[in-house]
Structure 1
Amino acid sequence: MNDSSIVHVLEALKIRLDEENVLAVHSTSGIYPKMGFVFNEPLTKYELEQLIRKNNLDLPAEYREFLLLHNGAEFFTYEYGYSFCLYSIEDMIKEYHSLEEYCDVDYILNYCYPIGYMVDHGTLLLDLSNFKQTNKGNILLMGVNTINLYCDLPTWLDRMLISQGNAYWEWYSKEVEFE
């Protein structure tokens, strides 16, 4: 995929979904469970601009684009929940205010917005520390430790869909040296 905009990433996913937003995914032992996807209704440009102005937010185009497509979504849903979600702007603002109450890391409070959650891993943060130079955010995952995933939101979402909701950054290999 050459154009990794949120629109193109989500279009590529939706082409594969059935009429109930369900997809059969490959799992271990040859099992093909059906996983769902829940997409919230979009915000209008006017609603988004009002919320941004009211809350003094500085959001990159990639996240605005997502909110204008779907004001929140759950990915790889099943009977017990979901693999990960991207928050609505209202939930993002609420989670940010919660962060202010318990987080003592100035960097996170000054440069990051909580934009989603990964079950068993933690909160997805949109790091805007380089936003002025790049006009893009960087994705961090804040759990027991904070992990830099070194990519913007469209790239992260694309990778999460390719890995079927699994923590792709935990898949690694190591060069073998022979004597």
Structure 2
Amino acid sequence: MNDSSIVNILEALKTRLDENNLLTVHSTSGIYPKVGFTFNKPITYHELEQFITKNHLTLPTEYKDFLLLHNGAEFFTNEYGYSFCLYSIEEMICEYNSMKDYSDVDYFLKNCYPIGYLVDRGTLLLDVSKFNQTNEVNVLLSGIETISFYCDLKTWLERMIIAQGNAYWEWFSKVVYFD
């Protein structure tokens, strides 16, 4: 993909979906289940700017682009739920406000926005601590431990789509030494 913007990543995914927003994926043991995708209607630019101003948010362009395309989405859904979701702006603000009650990590409250959820893993956070100086953002996963993906939202999302909603960061290789 030459232009890996949020819009292009999601549009490329949608070209592979059938008329019911289903995608056949490769699973273990040669099983090929169909999984779904639910895309919310977009928020308008004016509504988004009002939320940003009212809540004193500093949102990076890639997250704004997502909200303007789909104000929330669920990815890789099946009869048990979804693999992960990206919050609508309303859900993000609600989650951010509730973080104040349960999070004892000041860094999260000062520098991060909860932008999604990974089932059985935790909250997806957008770390904007360097955004004002360098325009860089980083995606974090806050669960039992906090994991840094060392990438921006569009890179993380593209990897999740390629990995079919699986925890790609848990895949690893190990150097093998031979005598």
Question: Do they fold alike, i.e. is TM over 0.5?
Answer: yes
- In the other structure, the counterpart of 1:149 is 149
1:62 touches 1:136 (CA, 8 Å); kept in 2?
no
- In the other structure, the counterpart of 1:83 is 83
CA–CA distance in 2 between the matches of 1:109 and 1:133? Answer: 19
- In the other structure, the counterpart of 1:160 is 160
Alignment partner of 1:156: what SS?
A: helix
CA–CA distance in 1 between the matches of 2:137 and 2:127? Answer: 5
Alignment partner of 2:113: what SS?
A: strand
CA–CA distance in 2 between the matches of 1:21 and 1:35? Answer: 8
Q: Counterpart of 2:133 in structure 1: which amino acid?
A: Q
Alignment partner of 2:140: what SS?
A: strand
Structure 1 stretches lacking a partner, 5+ long: none
CA–CA distance in 2 between the matches of 1:133 and 1:173? Answer: 35
Question: Where in structure 1 do 4 or more consecutive aligned residues deviate above 6 Å?
Answer: none
Alignment partner of 1:35: what SS?
A: strand
1:4-153 matched pairs, under 5 angstroms: 4-153=4-153
Structure 2 stretches lacking a partner, 5+ long: none
Alignment partner of 1:172: what SS?
A: coil
Structure 1 range deviating more: 130-139 or 25-34: 130-139
CA–CA distance in 2 between the matches of 1:134 and 1:17? Answer: 36
* Shift of residue 133, structure 1, vs aligned partner: 2.9
Aligned residues: 179
Compute the TM-score of the two structures, normalised by the length of structure 2.
0.98
**Identity, % of aligned pairs?**
72
Q: Counterpart of 2:27 in structure 1: which amino acid?
A: S
Compute the TM-score of the two structures, normalised by the length of structure 1.
0.98
Instruction: Give the RMSD, CA atoms, in angstroms.
Output: 0.7
